[in-house]
Amino acid sequence: MAGRAVLVTGASRGIGRAVATAFAAGGDRVAVHHRDSTPLAEQLVAALPGEGHVVVRADLADPEQVRAMVDDAATRLGGLDVLVNNAGVFGAADAGHPIFDSSYEQWQQQWRRTLDVNLLGAANTIWCAAPHLRERGGRIVNVSSRGAFRGEPTQPAYGASKAGLNALGQSLAVALAPYGIAVATVAPGFVETDMTNEHLKAPRGDEIRAQSPFHRVARPEEIAAAVHWLASPEAEWASGTIVDLNGASYLRT
């Protein structure tokens, strides 16, 4: 079959949708994963250039659904060459779970759900995909967040989950290199997506855009371009890296 076989989690909207489009435009076959957005996923597959694209479904908080989803994608695509761990959850835009304004029950619920999807879900997806990638080498690209470094005072579970994802990616970059599998991570700041829509409304949206000297937030296509390159054959030596994509809104050394 022509092109590579690519699985993108959380691909029905936002960054994942742009990532799936970038790979399809490059001649690859894409498995578009979603949890509960069947119409959007099917519309995307129908609109992607090329052929051989498929829709797969799973709640990433459920390990057995993850295993079935990855195997389904590999079977229908004829193997796996690239995994993009993009799916993630974020707390309520208007409240979050700040430590002094959350009940103990709310605190537990937010931490459990966020880690189950953003960290354990990604780890389980990698575990299930690794045997398929090992057959012919491959690429894993994780989508993290600026919040892993800057901190998320009202969404601490989110920031912690992304920091854990960074560490996971670097650990596996070392573990999987002998098998020809490179692992890299992108860490975007704010991006124009459904998940950030409420945050970007005025007046807070103006404050967020002002965080970058470009006075805007990222477009999904900009994140997708970096993901696409990190998954390329030429990017093997970038394995283990975490690429900041935040428009100079947060700088670290």
What amino acid positions are annotated as catalytic residues? 158
Identify which of 75, 155, 87, 77 has the alpha carbon closest to the alpha carbon of residue 126.
Answer: 87
DSSP sequence for 75-139: HHHTS-SEEEE-------TTT---GGGS-HHHHHHHHHHHHIIIIIIHHHHHHHHHHHHHTT-EE
Whole-number Å distance between alpha carbons of 131 and 35: 23
Contact partners, residue 170, CB within 8 Å, separation at least 6: 183, 185, 240, 242
